[in-house]
Amino acid sequence: MKHKPTIEFGIIGLGRFGFSLASALAEEKREVLVLDSSENKIRQIRHLTDNALVVSDLSKESLIQAGIQNCETVVICIGEKVDVSILTTLNVISMGIPRVIAKAISQEQGKILEKIGAEVIYPEHDMALRLANRLLSSRVMDYITLNDDITITELRLTGKVSDQTVLQASIRKKFKLNIIALEHNKKTITDISPELVLHEDDIAVVVGKKDCIKKFENYLTSGR
């Protein structure tokens, strides 16, 4: 009898993208299983989730021992090591996990990942997580739905937050959203610090609940 998934999300790899995604989901009180080979990286996220495990390798046996097969959605965030990324994705897909999303750093890598059955995201090259789902809104550009409640969305910023730092804009405090990437002057920034200055027409990638994203969108466009 097939084991029923019991964990909402599995994150494999704690680079900047993986860490930001895992942190945002955990802060929203979602159940997240996080795996990485670095004890230091796992230690940094353990205050957010008890399900943070060090895995010495990403073999199918190690992944099963860690419990990744119990996840409903697994995001593989190790795009830089192409061979490891592809093999890990293949191992995860072979377990029958309902949804597998894999990070890619090139179109060639992405094509291979798609062929073996994964949804593909290009956070560095395509400004984080474009899956070509266009919205009718003039401000919301692309989005990926992680489940019925949590969404990762691109928003074009307006003068409402222009020249404010991330800390001053209080997006997390006011709207319960986390910025995981920002595009400014065609340059992608994935290291989002509280001191980072926002500008009009920057493209921000935010993660959070759909209703919170809608509130932020309405705020950006109010009074225009």
How high is the pLDDT of residue 50? 85
**194 Cα distance to chain centroid:** 19
Q: Which residues of the chain have pLDDT under 50?
A: 1-2, 125-141, 224
Given 3.30.70.1450, 3.40.50.2300, 3.30.720.120, 3.40.50.1110, which CATH number is that of 140-221? 3.30.70.1450
Q: Within 13 Å, how many C-alpha atoms sit on residue 155's CB side?
A: 30
Question: Could you count the other beta carbons within 10 Å of the beta carbon of residue 162?
Answer: 14
Domain boundaries, the chain: 7-121, 140-221
Q: Mind listing the pLDDT tens digit for each residue in 22-64?
A: 888 888 788 999 999 999 999 999 988 889 999 988 899 999 9
What Cα–Cα distance (Å) separates residue 53 from each residue in 30, 37, 121, 143?
17, 8, 24, 29
Given 3.50.30.50, 3.40.50.720, 3.40.50.300, 3.30.465.10, which CATH number is that of 7-121? 3.40.50.720
Three-class SS state of 71:
strand
pTM of the model: 0.61
